[in-house]
Structure 1
Amino acid sequence: MKMTRFASFMSLLTLIMFLVNGFTEDLPSGAIARINAPVNAIAYSQSANQLAIAAANNIYIHDADTYKELMVLAGHTDSVLAVAFSSNGKLIVSGSSDETVRLWEIETGKLRRTREEHTAPVNTVAFSLEGKKFWSASRKNNMLRSWYSRDGGSWTSGASSSDSVKSITTVVLSEYGKIFARAVEMSMAIKDNLKFVIFLSETGTDNDFTPVLAKHTQKITALTFSPSGEYLATGSSDWTIEVWKVTDREPLTPGNLGNPVWILTGHAGTVTSVAFSPSSKILASGSADQRVRLWDLTTGEHLHTFSNHTSKISALAFARDDVLASGSSDGTVFIWDLSKIISTD
């Protein structure tokens, strides 16, 4: 226990030393700010007035206008892998390699609740739109858990009852809380090939997941819904991004999503992160090739590439259509001004 506390203290001290000097260094062209931290995940509050950065064992909350650090949420005993704000900005949920899910109050920084039911690192967390529920998922053992925000009660859903499911690679929830997407590897009987599928479900029926075949030739490594819930973007180890129309108003065809609206190419490595702008007009993608690329989703055109990170991109998040945060395993978060790159009309 003493060693764990000492390790956590040293981790916190190291991060403070990184963050103190975060704004004094020269900025690359287009960057508003640099925050130095070995980032695993980043998230903006829905009002875009706060930025959460998961770095090492802690969550750092910054003012999204001044980039001043407001508080540090400390308590996890291993790397924080995922963070998400509730829609009203009052709560934040975090998942960690310590196999716990923690719920925090933003106003006070108080830890409201810790759940220890996971038996593997928690890679993904998400709130429902109204904030009454949140979800957590472990990639390693295919476990998805659902929780009530108020009293911490839970129910549990596995990825699939099929023994052919090898692993969940990522989990996301649509902005309106109506559809899940889970990327998994599934071994098919024909030629023992690996097919790469997405499971979609109305959240009211947690175990009713429909397998739908994607076009990727290797595993899906990133997923995100557009804010409207109409589109789903998938990134893959095949270096491509696919953008799919998955409207809530029509039932999905079992076994097939049809054809993607766009297949976006240009990365030279596994796509590690994808993010829609609030208007859903712009998609940002990050990759193991250390690049952040911007795409116009009305035309499929590549708009710009940021090449300033020196290691793989670990997280992306939009504050507005013209402000993007990118985090990397190189220990930096850049805040980018996109106003000269895109039209916000």
Structure 2
Amino acid sequence: MSTRQGFCTLKGHEDKVFRIAFSPDGQILASGSKDKTIKLWSVYTGKEIHTLKGHLDDVYSVAFSPDGQVLASGGGGNDKTINLWQLTNQKRLTLTGHSDWFGAINSITFSPDGKTFASGSADKTIKLWQTEDGKEIFTFTGHSDDVCSVAISPNGQTLASGSKDKTVKIWQLNTGKILRTLTGFEEKIYSVAFSPDGKTLAIGSGDKNITLLPCN
């Protein structure tokens, strides 16, 4: 039986915490909440460093850029925006483009070089953006239901997306071309992740299983 000795509980949000992410150096933890805020925490002290406010609805996704200088956050259905926060001064750039009656930004992932990032939405699309100025590069279309999770491969060449349409799609990142569509899943796909060496794709689905697939 665990006594939880040595565990630290971070308290401060006023509602559910939907997503958390460590900074690349492991010193900061970001948390996105139903209370419409993002909080930054010191991993070593457990103390709140800052609260970022700007979303008009639940914060469904948070992700750090590879250099740790930018935090991207995605809002829920009444917000539908992505905020790019410069962590040195908390300046915010708000991006719009995803749309639907419930266009929640469910997942965000940065490319390895940090120059671009992708967002997966309940509007059934994935968008690729420039990190520096927030300019939309193009939109990936092909899923027939909410995109729940997106991940860019470690070599920066491909993107994987998991959807409520019970498929996983592998895309060429620089063109948006669908390379493969993985089918045969019995339930919705809620999460996808590449292994650090890029050789394996992990898929988490509503059937309670995790599938590991080789990346050819």
Q: TM-score with structure 2 length normalisation?
A: 0.88
Give the corresponding residue for 2:24.
Answer: 87
Residue 258 of structure 1, CA deviation: 2.2
Give the corresponding residue for 2:170.
Answer: 243
Give the corresponding residue for 1:212.
Answer: 140
Name the aligned partner's letter for residue 152 of structure 1.
Q
The reply on whether 1:278 has 2:196 as its aligned counterpart is: yes
Give the corresponding residue for 2:118.
Answer: 181
Q: Is the 8 A contact 1:127 1:134 kept in 2?
A: yes
Give the corresponding residue for 1:147.
Answer: 85
Higher relative contact order (CA 8 A, sep 6+): 1
Q: Is the 8 A contact 1:123 1:137 kept in 2?
A: yes
Supply the distance in 1 between the matched residues of 2:207 and 2:106 (Cα, whole angstroms): 20
Q: Is the 8 A contact 1:176 1:228 kept in 2?
A: no
Q: Is the 8 A contact 2:167 2:183 kept in 1?
A: yes
Residue 169 of structure 1, CA deviation: 4.3
Supply the distance in 1 between the matched residues of 2:106 and 2:18 (Cα, whole angstroms): 12
Supply the distance in 1 between the matched residues of 2:31 and 2:62 (Cα, whole angstroms): 7
Supply the distance in 1 between the matched residues of 2:208 and 2:57 (Cα, whole angstroms): 28
Unmatched tracts of structure 1, length 5 or more: 1-18, 23-67, 187-195, 299-345
The reply on whether 1:266 has 2:184 as its aligned counterpart is: yes
Residue 274 of structure 1, CA deviation: 0.8
SS in 1 for 2:211: strand
Q: Is the 8 A contact 1:159 1:168 kept in 2?
A: no
Residue 143 of structure 1, CA deviation: 1.5
Runs of at least 4 residues off by over 6 Å:
none
Aligned length: 214
Supply the distance in 2 between the matched residues of 1:83 and 1:242 (Cα, whole angstroms): 24
Q: Is the 8 A contact 1:143 1:158 kept in 2?
A: yes
Q: Is the 8 A contact 1:168 1:182 kept in 2?
A: no
Supply the distance in 1 between the matched residues of 2:158 and 2:137 (Cα, whole angstroms): 18
Q: Is the 8 A contact 2:170 2:178 kept in 1?
A: no
Q: 5 Å matches for 1:1-345?
A: 20=2, 70-140=7-77, 141-160=79-98, 166-174=102-110, 175-184=112-121, 196-214=124-142, 216-247=143-174, 252=175, 257-260=176-179, 262-298=180-216
The two structures, once aligned, show a CA RMSD in angstroms of 2.3
Name the aligned partner's letter for residue 125 of structure 2.
V
Q: Is the 8 A contact 2:107 2:121 kept in 1?
A: no
Q: Rate the CA distance shift 1:158–1:128 in 2: closer, same or farther, 3 A.
A: same
Name the aligned partner's letter for residue 86 of structure 2.
Y
Supply the distance in 2 between the matched residues of 1:288 and 1:269 (Cα, whole angstroms): 5
Residue 69 of structure 1, CA deviation: 5.1
Q: Is the 8 A contact 1:166 1:184 kept in 2?
A: no
Identity among equivalent pairs (%): 30
Residue 154 of structure 1, CA deviation: 1.9
Deviations 1:47-72 (A, max 9, x none): xxxxxxxxxxxxxxxxxxxxx85422
Residue 21 of structure 1, CA deviation: 6.6
Deviations 1:66-95 (A, max 9, x none): xx8542222112111111111111111110
